């Protein structure tokens, strides 16, 4: 929706709250504990330093990480 607002040069606007919450995840090969630990650690670090929130706000227009 935000991309469409930008493309139409502000003639449209996003209003109100989202209708529902959508979960997402990362698929990894079963048994690859080293990669799982690395992904979990990186996500935790991004949450801690604000990177995840910044990416969320850039691409979704709001902090959807909560």
- For every residue of 1-61, DSSP letters joined together read -HHHHHHTTTSS---S--SS---------TT-HHHHHHHHHHHHHHHHHTHHHHHHHHHHS
Q: What is the reported pTM?
A: 0.65
Total Cβ atoms within 10 A of residue 65: 13
Sole residue written with tokens 């930008």: 6
1 confidence band (pLDDT: 50, 70, 90):
low
pLDDT tens for 15-65 read: 777 666 778 888 999 999 999 999 999 999 999 999 999 999 988 888 888
Mean pLDDT in residue range 1-20? 74
13 confidence band (pLDDT: 50, 70, 90):
confident
Mean pLDDT in residue range 1-13? 76
Domain ranges of the chain: 32-66
Residue 27 corresponds to which tokens in the numbers above?
């698929």
């Amino acid at each position: 929706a935000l991309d469409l607002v930008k493309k139409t040069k502000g003639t449209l606007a996003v209003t109100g709250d989202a209708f529902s919450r959508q979960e997402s995840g990362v698929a990894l090969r079963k048994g690859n504990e080293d990669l799982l630990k690395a992904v979990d650690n990186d996500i935790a670090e991004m949450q801690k330093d604000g990177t995840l929130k910044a990416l969320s706000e850039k691409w979704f227009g709001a902090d959807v990480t909560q």
